[in-house]
Amino acid sequence: MDNLNKARLLAVLVPAFLLGGAYVAQLGFGLPPCEMCWWQRYPHFAALGLGALAFFVPPARLWTMLAGLAIIGSGLIGGFHAGVEYGWWEGITACTKPATALDVLNTAAAPAVRCDVAPWDLFGISLAGFNFLISSLAGAAILAFAAYRK
C-alpha cells in the first residue's frame, strides 16, 4: 500500500474510531457530552467527509490533507478542553461556571454537563486528553503520509 492510500485510510478510520468511541461513551456508558465535547466532534465529522472525498474525487492528496488538518483541529480543541478539565486555564463557555440559584430554578439555563469536570479518565488522562493525543498524532501522520511522494 502506498503512502497516499495509507493516509486516505487513516483519514477515514481515525475520525470514525474516535466518533464511535465518543458515542459508545455517551450512549453505552451514560457519559453525556458537554459543549466542548461537541466542539471536538465537529472537525471529525468534517474529516470523515473529506476523507471519503479522497477516495472518489480528485485530487485525493488535497482532500486527505484537509481531513488531516480537521483531525488535528479536533485534537487542538481536545487539548484546550483537557486543560480546562485539569484546571490549567479557564474555559470560555457557560458550562464551566458554577450553577447559581437562578440557574437551578431555570433548568434550561443550567448547564447539563460541566466542561471543567472530566467524567472519566484512564491513567489520569480524560477523554478530551485522549482525543488530543490520538488526533494530533494521527493527523500529523496523515499529513506526513499524504505529503510524502516516492
Residue 106 has pLDDT above 80, yes or no: no
Report the predicted TM-score, pTM, of the whole model to 2 decimal places: 0.87
CB 18 within 8 A of CB 129: no
Say what percent of the chain tops pLDDT 70: 89
Count the domains in the chain.
1
Type of residue at 37: C
pLDDT (average), residues 135-146: 90
Record the cell numbers describing residue 147, joined without a space: 505529503
Residue 102 has a pLDDT of 59
Mean pLDDT of 22-43: 94
List the domain range (segments joined by +) for residue 122: 3-147
pLDDT greater at residue 150 or residue 76: 76
Residue 100: per-residue pLDDT: 61
Rounded to the nearest 5 degrees, what angle is found at the Cα of 144, between the Cα atoms of 5 and 66? Answer: 75
What's the CATH number where 104 sits?
A: 1.20.1550
Q: Count CB neighbours of 37 within 10 A.
A: 23
pLDDT, average across residues 94-115 = 65
The cell for 33 is 457530552
- Residue 107: per-residue pLDDT: 56
Beta strand residue intervals within the chain, DSSP E: 121-122, 125-126
Position 33, amino acid: P
The string of pLDDT tens digits covering residues 60-102 is 999 999 999 999 999 999 999 999 999 999 988 777 766 666 5
Instruction: Compute the average pLDDT of residues 125-129.
Output: 95
